């Protein structure tokens, strides 16, 4: 069945992955740059995932299923981060409003799980 997933949040952000060994943030994907990041809700099995694609070349730079009791943190006005079993993701938004909207939706999704 088509469109089993619907986008419930969309924003532009720099998608970052934390390099724990070097204690630094690296851009996710092959080149740094802005991505369109969305939260998709799967309508049949009520799961949610964060998918991000580079604006320039559509490279998928994040495709993260949101787990129940995910630990996330809005570290500052434009930076949202969360960790899963493997790594720490960071989304660096262009505006506080986009960060707030995205974080609110992520919270709602996780609370629904």
Ligand X SMILES: CCOC(=O)[C@@H]1C[C@@H](CC)[C@@H]2C=C[C@H]3CCN(C(=O)[C@@H]4CC[C@H]5C=C[C@]6(CCCN6C(=O)[C@H](Cc6ccccc6Cl)NC(C)=O)C(=O)N54)[C@@H]3C(=O)N12
Nearer to ligand X, 5 or 110 (CB): 110
CB of 2 to ligand X, least distance (A): 35
CA 36 from chain center: how many Å?
10
Q: Least distance (Å) from ligand X to the CB of residue 43?
A: 28
Identify which of residues 29 and 90 has a Cβ nearer to ligand X in the complex: 90
Residue ranges in contact with ligand X by CB under 6 A: 16, 18, 25, 71-73, 75-76, 79, 81-83, 88, 90, 92
- CA 13/CA 5 separation, integer angstroms: 21
H or E element, residue 50: strand 47-54
| Residues 40, 7 contacting (CB under 8 angstroms) | yes
Closest CB to ligand X among residues 54, 92: 92
Least distance from C-beta 3 to ligand X, angstroms?
Answer: 32
Q: For ligand X, give the closer residue by CB, 10 or 79.
A: 79
**CB 62, min distance to ligand X, A:** 13
Q: Helices in 22-75 by DSSP H: which ranges?
A: none
Task: Tell the burial category of 56 from Cβ atoms under 10 Å away from its Cβ (0-12, 13-18, 19+).
Answer: exposed
């Amino acid at each position: 069945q088509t469109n089993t997933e619907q986008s419930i949040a969309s924003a532009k952000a720099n998608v970052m992955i934390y390099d724990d060994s070097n204690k630094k943030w690296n851009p996710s994907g092959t080149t740094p740059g802005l991505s369109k990041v969305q939260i998709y809700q799967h309508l049949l099995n009520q799961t949610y995932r964060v998918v991000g694609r580079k604006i320039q070349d559509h490279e998928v730079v994040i495709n993260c299923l949101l787990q129940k009791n995910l630990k996330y943190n809005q570290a500052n006005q434009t930076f949202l981060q969360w960790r899963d079993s493997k790594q720490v993701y960071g989304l660096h938004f262009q505006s506080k409003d986009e960060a707030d909207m995205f974080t609110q939706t992520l919270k709602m999704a996780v609370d629904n799980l």
